[in-house]
């Protein structure tokens, strides 16, 4: 019997799951199975977006037949020719001989490599930016070479703003009725598999992923439909930010990963002792793995997550312990970079693993190796405790830990909002504020507090009208930087902003990363020194999405990046935006030129 699920009025998931497969690509363990996603667009012209693996062919064909309901299949779009998505292509093509196969030139050659049916007479060859109209929907095609095959592309539904992303934004794991990411606790149940999928399947191609992310940033995306794992319709920005980190090889967490290769337990003992000392020094979320027990795909994923890696290896046949060598080779193959590495070597008569490990890491980009290597002769001795303490101290002090909130005012439940206005010269401006309050419901009335240093404050004083966009937890740091860390006097903040539209009052508001918009007219204002408090009547308001509003606390903990100052720099760093003031003393009246906060929100640089 068919098993499908409706995504939108016109779009249906017709994929299937495989929980029997032990190894994905005959390499990667998948204890939770894998989904093979396929989508049918039921427009005036019916369009199949990718097929599936042969393992789930029967279920997939039954789903397709049921959803077509007697209609002919007009188009088959091939976003990716890898057999886990295309091994049923010939079967579908023969079953629906009138269907046109939409693919790019590189895909066409691969189809000929895999199959023997007459593709030339049925192919529609498309290139970057070409479009296909299916009736109500217009599809456009974006090439995504080496994400992670050379022929890969993605399809964007201009009408419903859906990105069919091929292998991008996919994850290991079978679906269990729920097909949307917001139907799971994704962070707890899926993030590790999503990271492991990305780092092992796509991780080597960070530059190519960055190119695709740049293209994606230029379009308005309301939903992402990958070929593996759940569909994204909420918190898209959060997941895109993960891809941003992974593809730039920026660690997700300032923490330590310890990998050890031990034969009789003595190298393991050294690793355990170092882990304990690091925990005593305040390092959190330390992870430790025996490379002989844990598959390397998990370790590659953990290396992408962690800022610091300790490699503890026995010497084996005058080289690196064999299972550790496998892991290190995989880290190199997946292009790991921007990490701090410490090395522990062990050997009873000729410890050489440390030298070889250092040579391997020295060939990678932006790897800082903590010296010296800790050498163990068979087993650790009491007289080496000082060496261990020194190594742990060097590692711990090189980790940038987000400080605990010490200002009680930061615990007040602030939100973050984009307030926008338009000056007398018809220039659009906007800034980030943290104070919006509803004071009455009838009439509907609000107050906002805006820093007098902001150009937007000056404009609102003159014009008396403004809009408020209530920002969500999906808001990327780049938006805060764009609207909060530069002046509207000198910058066109809305320039090239494709997700803003003009409201009835003539002022822009954003329709992405915002869950609601409020249009307001000022009826009163009060000067409170650094800020103007505007009281305004709500002229109109609208709900855009149900994504949770971002709080100031959430911003500090999850969005604002950790500032890692350069070595030997003397000065003070703004805890709000990361601006660095260089010098031995911070003037008492200094105002941050980016976020406009005063000296109370600065702290001394913590240098190595």
Please report which confidence band the pLDDT of residue 589 belongs to, taking 50, 70 and 90 as the band edges: confident
Residue 154, preceding peptide bond in cis (omega within 30° of 0): no
Q: What is the rounded CA–CA span in Å between residue 47 and residue 99?
A: 9
List, for residues 370-390, the tens digit of each pLDDT value.
999 999 999 999 999 999 999
**Could you tell me if 544 and 568 lie in one domain?**
no
Q: Mean pLDDT for the chain?
A: 92
Q: What is the rounded CA–CA span in Å between residue 93 and residue 107?
A: 15
**Could you tell me if 412 and 393 lie in one domain?**
no
**Could you tell me if 348 and 491 lie in one domain?**
no
Instruction: Please report which helix (H) or strand (E) contains residue 68, including its range.
Output: helix 57-68
Secondary structure class of 268 (helix, strand, coil)? helix
Please report which confidence band the pLDDT of residue 545 belongs to, taking 50, 70 and 90 as the band edges: confident
Q: What is the rounded CA–CA span in Å between residue 303 and residue 74?
A: 45
**Could you tell me if 355 and 375 lie in one domain?**
yes
φ and ψ at residue 552, rounded to 5 degrees? -65, -40
Please report which confidence band the pLDDT of residue 565 belongs to, taking 50, 70 and 90 as the band edges: very low
Is 463 inside a domain boundary? yes
- Choosing from 245, 279, 299, the residue where a domain stops is 245
**Could you tell me if 470 and 361 lie in one domain?**
no
**Could you tell me if 512 and 547 lie in one domain?**
yes
Of the two residues 558 and 187, the one the predictor is more confident about is: 187
- pTM for the model stands at 0.73
User: What are the residues whose beta carbons fall under 8 Å from the beta carbon of 145, sequence distance 6 or more?
Assistant: 106, 151, 152, 208
Instruction: Please report which helix (H) or strand (E) contains residue 437, including its range.
Output: strand 436-441
Assess whether pLDDT exceeds 50 at residue 103.
yes
**Could you tell me if 215 and 122 lie in one domain?**
yes
Is 403 inside a domain boundary? no
**Could you tell me if 477 and 547 lie in one domain?**
yes
Question: What does DSSP assign to residue 442?
Answer: T
Q: What is the rounded CA–CA span in Å between residue 360 and residue 364?
A: 7
Assess whether pLDDT exceeds 90 at residue 559.
no
Considering only 31-35, 134-138, 540-544, which range has the smallest mean pLDDT? 540-544
Q: Which of 416, 530, 529, 414 is nearest to 471 (CA)?
A: 416
Question: Helix axis angle, 322-333 relative to 353-362, nearest 10°?
Answer: 10
User: What are the residues whose beta carbons fall under 8 Å from the beta carbon of 44, sequence distance 6 or more?
Assistant: 134, 135, 136
Please report which confidence band the pLDDT of residue 567 belongs to, taking 50, 70 and 90 as the band edges: very low
List, for residues 51-79, the tens digit of each pLDDT value.
999 999 999 999 999 999 999 999 999 99
**pLDDT, position 311:** 98
φ and ψ at residue 334, rounded to 5 degrees? -95, 15
Q: What is the rounded CA–CA span in Å between residue 46 and residue 71?
A: 8
**pLDDT, position 516:** 92
Domain with residue 575: its CATH number is: 2.20.28.10
**Could you tell me if 392 and 368 lie in one domain?**
yes
Domain total of the chain: 4
**pLDDT, position 571:** 85
Is 427 inside a domain boundary? yes
Q: What is the rounded CA–CA span in Å between residue 163 and residue 41?
A: 13
Q: Are 461 and 451 in contact (CB under 8 A)?
A: no
Q: Look up the domain containing 373 and give its range.
A: 253-397
Is 342 inside a domain boundary? yes
pLDDT above 70 covers what percent of the chain?
95
Assess whether pLDDT exceeds 50 at residue 86.
yes
Q: Environment class of residue 491 by beta-carbon count within 10 Å: exposed (0-12), middle (13-18) or buried (19+)?
A: middle
**Could you tell me if 573 and 548 lie in one domain?**
no
**Could you tell me if 280 and 318 lie in one domain?**
yes
Please report which confidence band the pLDDT of residue 537 belongs to, taking 50, 70 and 90 as the band edges: very high
Is 558 inside a domain boundary? no
Assess whether pLDDT exceeds 50 at residue 265.
yes
Beta strands in 306-433 (DSSP E): 306-316, 319-320, 339-346, 367-376, 417-422, 428-433
- Locate 452 and state its tokens: 């007098």
Assess whether pLDDT exceeds 80 at residue 354.
yes
- Locate 421 and state its tokens: 């206005």
**Could you tell me if 376 and 428 lie in one domain?**
no
Domain with residue 276: its CATH number is: 3.40.50.360
- Mean pLDDT of the 78-90 span: 96
Considering only 318-332, 499-513, 589-603, which range has the smallest mean pLDDT? 589-603
Q: Which of 76, 58, 50 is nearest to 17 (CA)?
A: 58
């Amino acid at each position: 019997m068919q098993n499908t699920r409706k995504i939108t009025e016109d779009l249906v998931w017709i994929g299937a799951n495989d929980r029997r497969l032990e190894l994905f690509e005959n390499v990667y363990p998948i204890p939770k199975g894998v989904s093979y996603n396929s989508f049918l667009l039921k427009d005036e012209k019916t369009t199949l977006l990718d097929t599936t693996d042969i393992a789930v062919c029967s279920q997939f064909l039954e789903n397709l037949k049921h959803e077509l309901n007697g209609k002919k299949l007009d188009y088959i779009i091939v976003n990716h020719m890898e057999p886990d998505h295309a091994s049923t292509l010939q079967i579908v093509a023969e079953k629906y001989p009138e269907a046109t196969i939409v693919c790019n030139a590189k895909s066409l050659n691969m189809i000929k490599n895999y199959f023997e049916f007459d593709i030339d007479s049925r192919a529609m060859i498309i290139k970057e930016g070409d479009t296909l109209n299916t009736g109500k929907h217009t599809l456009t095609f974006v090439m995504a070479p080496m994400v992670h095959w050379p022929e890969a592309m993605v399809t964007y539904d201009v009408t419903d703003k859906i990105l069919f992303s091929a292998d991008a934004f996919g994850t290991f794991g079978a679906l269990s009725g729920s097909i949307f990411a917001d139907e799971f606790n994704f962070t707890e149940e899926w993030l590790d598999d999503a990271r492991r999928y990305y780092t092992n399947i796509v991780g080597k191609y960070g530059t190519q992923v960055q190119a695709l992310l740049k293209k994606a940033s230029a379009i308005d995306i309301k939903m992402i439909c990958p070929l593996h794992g759940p569909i994204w319709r909420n918190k898209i920005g959060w997941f895109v930010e993960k891809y941003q980190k992974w593809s730039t090889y920026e660690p997700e967490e300032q923490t330590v990963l310890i990998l050890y290769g031990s034969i009789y337990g003595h190298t393991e003992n050294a690793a355990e002792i170092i882990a304990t000392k690091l925990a005593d020094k305040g390092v959190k979320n330390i992870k430790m793995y025996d490379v002989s027990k844990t598959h390397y795909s998990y370790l590659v994923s953990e290396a992408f997550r962690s800022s610091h890696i300790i490699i503890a290896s026995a010497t084996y046949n005058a080289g690196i312990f064999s299972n550790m060598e496998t892991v290190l080779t995989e880290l190199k193959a997946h292009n790991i970079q921007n990490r701090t590495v410490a090395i522990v070597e062990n050997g009873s008569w000729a410890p050489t693993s440390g030298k070889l490990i250092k040579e391997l890491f020295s060939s990678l980009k932006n790897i800082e190796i903590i010296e010296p290597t800790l050498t163990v002769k068979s087993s650790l001795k009491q007289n080496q405790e000082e060496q261990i303490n020194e190594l742990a101290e060097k590692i711990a002090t090189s980790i940038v830990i987000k400080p605990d909130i010490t200002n009680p005012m930061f615990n007040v439940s602030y939100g973050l909002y984009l307030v926008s206005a338009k000056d007398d010269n018809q220039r659009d401006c906007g800034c980030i504020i943290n104070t919006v309050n509803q004071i009455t419901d009838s009439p509907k009335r609000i107050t906002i507090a805006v820093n007098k240093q902001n150009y937007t404050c000056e404009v609102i004083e003159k014009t008396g009208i403004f809009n408020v966009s209530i920002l969500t937890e999906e808001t990327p740091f780049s938006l805060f930087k764009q609207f909060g860390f530069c002046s509207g006097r000198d910058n066109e903040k809305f320039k090239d902003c494709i997700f803003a539209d003009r409201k009835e009052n003539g002022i822009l508001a954003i329709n992405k990363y915002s869950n609601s918009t409020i249009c307001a007219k000022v009826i009163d204002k009060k000067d409170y020194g650094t800020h103007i408090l505007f009281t305004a009547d709500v002229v109109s308001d609208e709900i855009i999405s149900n994504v949770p509003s971002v709080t100031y606390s959430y911003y500090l903990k999850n969005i604002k990046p950790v500032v890692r100052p350069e070595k030997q720099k003397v000065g003070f760093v703004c805890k709000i935006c990361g601006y660095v003031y260089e010098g031995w003393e911070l003037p008492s009246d200094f105002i941050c030129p980016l976020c406009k906060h005063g000296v109370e929100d600065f702290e001394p640089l913590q240098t190595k």
